[in-house]
Amino acid sequence: MTDHIYWQDGSLFLLDQRLLPFKKKYVECKTLKDVAEAIRNMTIRGAPLIGIVAAYGVVIGMKEVIRSKGRATEKDFDRISTTLLKTRPTAVNLLWALKRMQKAYLMAKDDPSLEGSMLDEAVSIHVEDIENNRMISLFGAELIEDGDTILTHCNAGALAMGGYGTALGVIKAAHESGKKIKVIATETRPYLQGARLTAWELREAGIDVEIVPDNHGGILCYKGAIDKIIVGADRIALNGDTANKVGTYMLALCAYRHKIPFFVAAPISTFDKDIKDGSYIEIEERPEKEVKYIMAVPITLKDIKARYYSFDITPHRYITNIITEKGIIKKPFKKYIHQLF
Ligand code: MRU
C-alpha cells in the first residue's frame, strides 16, 4: 500500500483519505494553495505524511514562483514555508521537512537546476521515511509475542507515512515473521482513522482486526483482553512526553494501571529537540462542525457547542518504550533521546 501519494508531470497526487475505505479517489495538487488545503482539510493526514506532502508542496510553490518571476528568492521560500507551516500545528514532522527543504534551497539557490534539486530532496524525504518505517517495524516486532492481542489508536500505518507504517508497521512485521496477532482498533472519533483506515489497512495485510468504540480502553484492560498497546506520535519532547491522537493519554493511563506495556513507534523526525517536555507542544483545535457531524450526518442539535482537541499529551512515565529507526529507547528516556540526534 504505497500508492497513496505520487508525483507525476509536476503535480502531486494524493489518495483522499476522507473517503476511504469506501471510495478510492485522488486529489491532484497543482498549486501551493492546493497542497496547503489538502493538509488543512485532512485529504491526507498522519505526522510523517504531512511532512512529506509539505516537502512536495515547497517544490510546487517554488515552481509557481519561478514560472512567474524567473527566479525564487529567500523571501519567496519563506512565504511558501510559512503557508505550509500554518496548516497543522502539532505534528513536528512538518517543521522538520520544511527545514530540510530550506537547507536544500540554500545549497542550490543560484543553480539553474534549483527546481530539480528541490524535487530530489522531497523524494529523499519520502523514500527515507519508508526505509525508517521498515527499521522501526523490525525493531518493534521483537517486542511482540506470538498470540498477542494488540490495541492501537488512530492510524499509524502506511497511509500516515511514506509507506508501510510505524505502529502498524510493527504489527505487520510481527505478522510477516509468522506470529499470530489480533488487533483491536479504536474507531477514533470524529475522523474515524481507526474504523476507516487502520481496519482497512490491516484487513489488506491479512491481519485479524476488530474495531471498538473509543471509550473501550478501560473495559478491555479490566477484562485482561489486551496484551499490548502500540501507537504512533505527532511530536515527542526530549523527556519522552508524546503528543498523539486525542484519547491516547487515557489509554496509556489504563495500560499503566493494569501493567500492560504501552509502546510508541515513531521516526526521529517526530522528536522535537527544542522542547524539554510536552507542555511546550501546541495542541491543534479543529472546527466544532467536525464533531457535530459524522460523514455529513448531524449527531446533535445545531446550536449545541462542541470542542475538538485533535491531540493530547501522554506523559513519559506512562510509556514503556519508544521504538525508532535507530532502535528501542528504554528509560530514562531523557538520557537516550539526547543520543538520537
Ligand atoms: O489527525 P491525524 O489523523 O493527522 O492524526 C494522526 C495521528 O495522531 C497519528 O497517530 C500520528 O500522526 C502518528 S502516526 C503518523
pLDDT tens per residue, range 199-246: 999 999 999 999 999 999 999 999 999 999 999 999 999 999 999 999
Ligand 1 mutation pick, 153, 154, 248, max ligand atoms within 8 A of CB? 154
**Which pLDDT score, from 0 to 100, does residue 240 have?**
98
Please compute the mean of the pLDDT values over residues 245-262 and round it to a whole number: 98
- Sequence-distant (≥ 6) Cβ neighbours of residue 62 within 8 angstroms: 72, 76, 77, 80, 105, 114, 115, 118
User: Which residues is 236 bridged to in the sheet?
Assistant: 242, 271
Phi and psi torsions of 71, nearest 5°: -155, 160
- Give nearest CA residue, ligand 1 atom 14: 156
Distance (angstroms) between ligand 1 centre and the Cα of 67 equals: 35
**Active-site hit among 129, 148, 214, 234:** 234
**Which pLDDT score, from 0 to 100, does residue 60 have?**
98
Please compute the mean of the pLDDT values over residues 90-118 and round it to a whole number: 96
- Work out the pLDDT band at 295, boundaries 50, 70, 90: confident
CA-based angle 24:232:101, to the nearest 5?
Answer: 75
Ligand 1 mutation pick, 45, 168, 188, 250, max ligand atoms within 8 A of CB? 45
Distance of CA 248 to the CA centre of its chain: 14
Q: What would the pLDDT profile of 156-192 be if each residue is shown by its tens digit? A: 999 999 999 999 999 999 999 999 999 999 999 999 9
Cβ–Cβ under 8 Å, residues 223 and 254: no
User: Which residues is 168 bridged to in the sheet?
Assistant: none
- Give nearest CA residue, ligand 1 atom 15: 46
Distance (angstroms) between ligand 1 centre and the Cα of 190 equals: 13
Per-domain boundaries in the chain: 5-133, 138-338
In the numeric block, which cell numbers belong to residue 215?
471509550
- Give nearest CA residue, ligand 1 atom 10: 232
Q: Is the pLDDT of residue 1 over 90?
A: no
Please compute the mean of the pLDDT values over residues 70-82 and round it to a whole number: 96
160 in contact with ligand 1, CB cutoff 6 A: yes
Mean pLDDT of the chain: 97
- Work out the pLDDT band at 2, boundaries 50, 70, 90: low
Ligand 1 mutation pick, 39, 42, 152, 155, max ligand atoms within 8 A of CB? 155
Distance (angstroms) between ligand 1 centre and the Cα of 45 equals: 7
> In this structure, which topology does domain 138-338 adopt according to CATH?
Rossmann fold (3.40.50)
Return the CATH class of domain 5-133. mainly alpha
- Sequence-distant (≥ 6) Cβ neighbours of residue 27 within 8 angstroms: 13, 14, 16, 34, 38, 43
Q: Is the pLDDT of residue 138 over 90?
A: yes
Find the farthest-apart pair of alpha carbons in the chain and give their distance in angstroms, rounded.
65
51 in contact with ligand 1, CB cutoff 6 A: no
166 in contact with ligand 1, CB cutoff 6 A: yes
